[in-house]
Structure 1
Amino acid sequence: MSSDAQATPAGLDDEAVLLVGHGSRREKSNEQVRTLAAELEGRLGVPVDAGFLELAKPSIPDAIAGLASTVSRVTVVQLSLFAASHVKNDVPFAVQQARSEHAELTVHNGAHLGVHPAIVDLLDERAAAVEAELGVDRTSEDIAVVLCARGSSDPDANSDAHKLARLLYEGRAFDRVEASFIGVTEPKLEETLHAVAKHRPDAVVVLPYMLGDGVLTGRIRDGAAEFDEAYPYVDAAAGDPLGTDTRLLDVLGDRWQEARTESVDMPCDTCKYKVELDGYEEDAGGARAMLRALTHQESHADRDDVGEDPHTHDAPEKHVAVCTNQTCAADGAPAVLERLRQEARDSDACDVRITRSSCLGRCGDGPMVAVYPDGVWYGGVGRADAERIVSSHLDRDRIVSNIVDQTL
C-alpha cells in the first residue's frame, strides 16, 4: 500500500467513501462487503458506507443520496476484481446519475482492484496453505498452480487474469502457473487441469480467484476434487477465496487515494469500447457502452417494479435511446420520446424498450434517436418521424432512410 493511503490526510472531515460491491442473493456475500467497508473506515479514518450494483441494497444512487446530506465529497471505490462491463459501464453510469441529482456534491469514481502486488502476495499465501494441506513443498517437488477466475466477455478482464497468473509465477518455485476460467470464456478449469496433468506434477494447487465463498467458488472446489479423483498420481486441492483479508484494504486504500486525487488510470488502450479488437468489433464506440449500461439498469428497474428476479435479463428485441440532454430537449426530444412510447404501446408487432439517454455527442443535429442492436442513429427527429420509426423500423425492420444521421 502506498504511504499516502496509510495516513489520514488533512481536510477529510467533509469526505466519505462508498465501497461498491456487485451484490448477491446470498446475504453472506453482501455482509463481506459491509465488513470490508467497516475495516476500510478504520484504515482510512473517514466514513465508509457499502453500496451495491444490483441484487442488494442500498443501490449506488441511494447510497450516494444518503451521504449527500452529510458530506460535500464522496469517493467511490469498487470492490471488483477486473475491469469488465460493470466497472466500465454500469458503475460510471450510476455515478453520473448521482452527480446530476446532487449538483452540490463532488463524486470521484475509483478503479477496480485489478492487478496489485498485495493481491499477488495474498494468492501466494493461499497457495502455501494448500501445499501444507497436501503435505508438499514447492522447493523440492513440482507444484503446478491453476488460477481460476470467473471469466468475462471483456478481453481486458481475461488478459488481466493471465497477467496475474504470470506475476504469481515470477520469482517463485512453482513448476508452472496457468490461468483458467469457470465460465464465459476459455480455457475452462477442467480443460486446464487435464492439460497440466500431462506434465505429471507432484501436486496441483487450484486457486479460486473470487472474493467470496459462493456458488462459483463451490464449482471450482468440485472441479479440483473431481480432478484429484480422476488422476491418482497427482495430489490436488483448491484453496480459499480472497475473503476479507487485510491486504485487500491495502489495494482499496490505494484505489481511494488515486480516485480522490483524480489519478485513476483505466485500461483504455485495450478497452473493447474504445478500440476495435479482433472478435469484438461490434462493441466499439462509447455510445454502445452507454447503451449497454442503460439496458442493464432498465432491466433491473423493470423487474424490481413487478417483484421479479432482478437478475433475469430477458432483453427486448430492440432498445431505443432518445437523447434528452439540454440541446436535444430544447429541440423537442421529450415530445419525441413520449410519441415513440405511445406508438410502441399501440403496436402489436414490436418488442422494444424505449429510454432516455444522456448526450449522444451529436449536439445541434437532434433530437437524436438511437436504435439498437441495429446501430442506426436518427437525427432531427420530430413527432411525425417518431411514428414512422415505430411503424417502419421497429415493426418491419425497414430503416427510415431520410432521417438517418449515421450507422454504427
Structure 2
Amino acid sequence: MSDAPPGPSPTESPELPDRLDDEAILLVGHGSRREKSNEQVRELAVMLEERLGIPVDAGFLELAEPAIPEALGGLVPSVSQVTVVQLSLFAASHVKNDVPLAVDQARTDHPEATFHVGGHLGVHPALVDLLDDRAAAVEAELGVDRSCDDVAVALCARGSSDPDANADVHKLARLLHEGREFTRVDPTFIGVTEPTLSETLHRTAKSRPDAVVVLPYMLGDGVLTGRIRDGADEFDADYPYVDAAAGDPLGTDDRLLDTLGDRWQAARTDSVEMSCDTCKYKVELDGYERDVGGARAQLRALTHLETHADREDVDDDPHVHDHPDKHVAVCTNTTCAADGAPAVLERLRQGVRDSDACDARVTRTSCLGRCGDGPIVAVYPDGVWYGDVDPEDAERVVGDHLDRDRIVSDLVDGTL
C-alpha cells in the first residue's frame, strides 16, 4: 500500500511553498525501548535541520514518543506543508503501510495542511560509499589490505518478511562489490530470513580468505548490532586461520544526511518512486499470496501497530509482540460514524472487557472502502467483515465470534 503519488504531468509544476519557512520536515524513526536509539533519530533531525535550513522534528512509529500523529499535529499550526522523511533502511510493511496510514489520517485531521511522504533510505550511492569506509576501518583494525589480501565481506541486515526489502540487501551487497577489490561480498541476515549470519560465515570460511569483514547494516548500536558483533567474534575464535571483526553501524554520518536530503527533495516534488513491480502488496508473489490486497495489508498494519507491548526480557528479543487472538477494527470514518460506529466501538470494547472467554483487542480505523454499508466491523486474522452493525449486534459479535469462534452469519458483509 504505497503512498507514493504519481509525479506531476508535463504541463503541471509541483506545488511547493513560496518560502522554506512555510515548510517543515518530520523525520520518522522506528522507535526503540532503548533511549539511545531514539536519541540518534533526534540527533539526525537536528543535523538535517542545520543542513537544510528548515524545521525538522522527530517522530516514531512505535515504542517511543512522539508518535507520528502527535508529531504532525505539533507541526501544522506553524507551517502549511509538511514532508515526512522516513528513516527506514528498506521498504517493508512500515514504509508501505504504517506511515501512509498515519499520513492519510493526518490529512483528514488537518485539511488545512499539505503532506508529502518520502521514500525509505533504500539503495543510495552515498550509503554504498559509507559502507566502503566502514569496511576500510575494519581492515585497518585487522591489519589487512584488500588490494593485496583476500578480504571477504558479510553485509548483515536485520531481515524482513518482505521479499522486496530482502532483495535490496542483495543489490546493496552487489554494488559494494562492484569496482572494489573485495574477494566477495555476501548479503546475510541476523533474523527472520536466510541466509543467517552464521551460515554465511561458515560458508565463507571454506574459501579460506585472509580476513572477513562483517558489516552491520543498521542505523545504530542496539541488540541486533550486538548479536552481529558476537557472531563475528565467535567465528573469529572458531577459525584461527581467518581474521574476522565487525564494523560500526551507519550512525550519524554526513552521508546519511545526503541520502535524507535527496529523499526530502523527491517527496516535496511528488516524485517518489516505489518498487511496485516487486511489492507483495501489489502483485502476487509465490509464497506471499496471502499478503496481497489493500484491505488485508491495512489490517495487517493496524494489527502490528496495536500489538506491541513492553516486556522485561527485551535483551533476548528486541522486537517482541504481545498480540491477542483476535483484532477487531471498527471503521469510524465519516459515513460509518454518522451511522453509529462510535457506539458500536464502545459496546464492543465493553463486551470484551466483560468477557472471561475472549482474547481480543478492539480499535478504531479509518475508511475501509465500504461507505454506505456501515458501520463496518472487521475481525482479524479471520478476515471476516460485518456490515450494518448496530450497537445491539455488538453483544453477538463478542459472544459468538470472539468468545466461541462462531461467525455471526446474518451480519457478514464479506470475507478476505
TM-score normalised by structure 2 residue count: 0.89
- Residue of structure 2 equivalent to 1:271: 279
Selected match of 1:218 from 204, 210, 226: 226
Residue type at the aligned position of 2:147: T
Per-residue deviation at 1:246?
Answer: 0.5
| Structure 1 position 96 matched with structure 2 position 104 | yes
CA distance in 2, matches of 1:154, 1:329: 34
- Trace 1:63-82 onto structure 2 (pairs within 5 A): 63-82=71-90
- Distance in 1, matches of 2:56 and 2:282, equals 32
1:38 aligns with 46
- The match for 2:393 among 363, 367, 385 is 385
Aligned pairs for 1:195-274 within 5 A? 195-274=203-282
* One-letter code aligned to 1:32: Q
Q: CA offsets per residue over residues 69-106 of structure 1, 9 Å max, x none?
A: 21111111111111122222222222233322222121
- Give the direction of change, closer, same or farther, for the CA distance of 1:344–1:39 in structure 2 (3 Å limit): closer
Q: Which runs of 5+ in 2 are unaligned?
A: 1-15, 312-317
Q: Say whether residues 1:129 and 2:123 are aligned partners.
A: no
Separation (CA, whole Å) in 2 of partners of 1:248 and 1:333 = 45
Which residue of the partner structure matches residue 297 of structure 2? 289
Partner of 1:118: 126
Shift of 1:264: 1.3
- Unmatched tracts of structure 1, length 5 or more: 1-7, 305-309
Q: Helix, strand or coil: the match of 2:21? A: coil
Deviation at 1:16, TM superposition (A): 0.8
State the Cα distance separating 1:289 from its structure 2 match: 2.3
1:10: Cα distance to partner? 5.8
After TM superposition, the structure 1 stretch with the greater mean CA deviation from structure 2, 118-127 or 287-296, is 287-296
8 Å CA contact retained: 1:55, 1:311: no
The answer to whether the Cα contact below 8 Å between 2:17 and 2:81 also exists between their aligned partners in 1 is: no
Structure 1 residue 361 displacement after superposition: 1.2
Q: CA offset at residue 274 of structure 1?
A: 2.6
1:11 aligns with 2:19: yes
Identity of aligned residues (%): 79
**Structure 2 residue matching 1:210: 3-state secondary structure:** coil
SS of residue matched to 2:379: strand
Confirm or deny that 1:319 pairs with 2:327: yes
The CA RMSD over aligned residues, in Å, is 2.2
Distance 1:54 1:338, change over 3 A: closer
CA distance in 2, matches of 1:342, 1:131: 61
Question: 1:174-189 maps to which residues of 2 (within 5 A)?
Answer: 174-189=182-197
- Stretch moving more, 146-155 or 395-404: 395-404
Q: Aligned equivalents of 1:167 and 1:200: distance in 2? A: 23
Shift of 1:252: 0.3
Match of 1:3 in 2: none
- The equivalent residue for 2:355 is 347
Cross-structure match for 2:378: 370
User: What amino acid does structure 1 have at the position aligned with 2:113?
Assistant: L
How far has the Cα of 1:267 moved from its partner?
2.3
Deviations 1:194-231 (A, max 9, x none): 00111111211111101112221121111111111111
Determine if contact 1:152/1:185 at 8 Å carries over to the other structure.
yes
SS at match of 2:164: helix
